[in-house]
Amino acid sequence: MSGGASTGVPEAAYAAALCVAAAAGLGAVERRRGRRRARVLFGDGVGQAPFRESWDIGRSRVRGWLSRRREWLCLPVALVLAVLGESVLPVIAGVAVVPVVRRWLRRRELRREGERRAAGVVDLCGAVVGELRAGHEPGQALLVAVHGTRVLGAAGPGVSAAARFGGDVSRALGQAACEPGLEGLAGVAACWRVAADGGAGLAAGLDRLEVALRAELRRREELRAQLAGAWSTVAVLALLPVLGLGLGAALGADPLGVLLHSPAGLVCLVLGGSLEALGLCWATRIVRKGEVA
């Protein structure tokens, strides 16, 4: 009796485990069949689109979070300097530098966004020309190009509505051209106005405008490449004080202790930091004027 009962329990456990494994296998097979059926009905990309969209949204949020908080990296550097120099002054300086670095990063981000939008305007002109030569109406061609390039940002719905419902497209494009980076849309608005008023070929005008805008972008890239040496000089000037402190520490001196714990060192620190900031601002302004010219 006891031997039969002891052997019956493992057999029942094995049977239950076998049933669970079979149910799991059948469930996996059914899910695989459902995915295959969805791919057949809706195409290969539809089943993966929600996952890809959520992945892109999550990645963009992480990038946005990092880009908005990069200026706070000054605080760990300031804490390290405070520990090495045994002073609270680097922490105070790090807190004071955070708004300046935030402003500088914001300007650089806006400059990059403007360059991306300027390149998008060129692509928009090319897309509209392609749609017009394919036989589409101007409004429809503009709608397809706007949704394809997605460069207009907040001005996109207004331009799309004007093109879709027969509004004043040239006026909508002119208003969109007031945003940074979209100045090339003023030429698109002029071509649209001339084509609407005088019956001139819109495709030919936009084609010439695309060539002119692309040449302007190429000229800016060449100028930026020529000014790379000047920017390298500015970076070297910014790193010279740090290299000096590192060289002094390598030679056995205590530069942080002298600068942070002696009256003469504090005077040199304030005066040198002010001159360094003025020199960087001056050099940056010179290079920026060269870019604008």
Residue 106 lies in a domain: no
In the predicted model, is pLDDT for residue 4 greater than 50?
no
Domain count, the chain: 3
Check pLDDT > 70 for residue 183.
yes
The SS3 assignment for 41 reads helix
Q: Which two tokens stand for residue 258?
A: 């002298």
Shared-domain flag, residues 273 and 190: no
- Does residue 179 register a pLDDT over 50? yes
Is residue 209 domain-shared with residue 233, that is, in the same domain? no
Pick the closest to residue 279 from 248, 239, 252, 245 (CA basis).
239
Residue 34 lies in a domain: yes
Return all residues near 24 (Cβ < 8 A) that are at least 6 apart: none
Let me know if residue 1 belongs to a domain. Answer: no
- 192 and 234 part of one domain: no
Co-location of 211 and 163 in the same domain: yes
Which residue among 193, 216, 239 closes a domain? 216
Mark which of 216, 247, 271 sits at the end of a domain.
216
- Mean pLDDT highest for which of 14-18, 64-68, 239-243? 239-243
Kindly state the average pLDDT of the residues 226-251.
Answer: 85
Mark whether 199 and 134 lie in a shared domain.
Answer: yes
Q: Residue 87 falls within a domain, yes or no?
A: no
Q: Please compute the mean of the pLDDT values over residues 45-73 and round it to a whole number.
A: 60
For residues 152-162, give the mean pLDDT.
Answer: 81
Query: 216, 243, 265: which is the final residue of a domain?
Result: 216
Cα gap 241→253, rounded to integer Å = 15
pLDDT value at residue 41: 43
Q: Is residue 210 part of a domain?
A: yes
Instruction: List pLDDT tens digits, range 106-151.
Output: 888 888 888 888 888 898 888 888 888 888 888 888 888 888 777 7
Between CA 254 and CA 235 the distance in angstroms is 25
How many beta carbons lie within 10 A of that of residue 288, not counting itself?
11
In a shared domain, residues 122 and 206: yes
- Pair of tokens at residue 168: 């004043």
Q: By residue range, what is the domain housing residue 237?
A: 227-293
pLDDT confidence of residue 30:
53
Q: Is residue 43 a part of any domain in this protein?
A: yes
Q: Are residues 206 and 154 in the same domain?
A: yes
Task: Confirm whether 174 is domain-assigned.
Answer: yes
pLDDT digits (tens, 9 = 90+) for 30-42: 555 555 544 444 4
User: Residues 56-82: what's their mean pLDDT?
Assistant: 73
Tell me if the pTM is above 0.75: no
User: Is 68 a residue whose pLDDT tops 70?
Assistant: no
User: Does residue 73 lie within any of the structural domains?
Assistant: no
Residues 179, 202 within the same domain: yes
Co-location of 204 and 235 in the same domain: no
Q: Are 207 and 129 spatial neighbours (Cβ–Cβ below 8 Å)?
A: yes
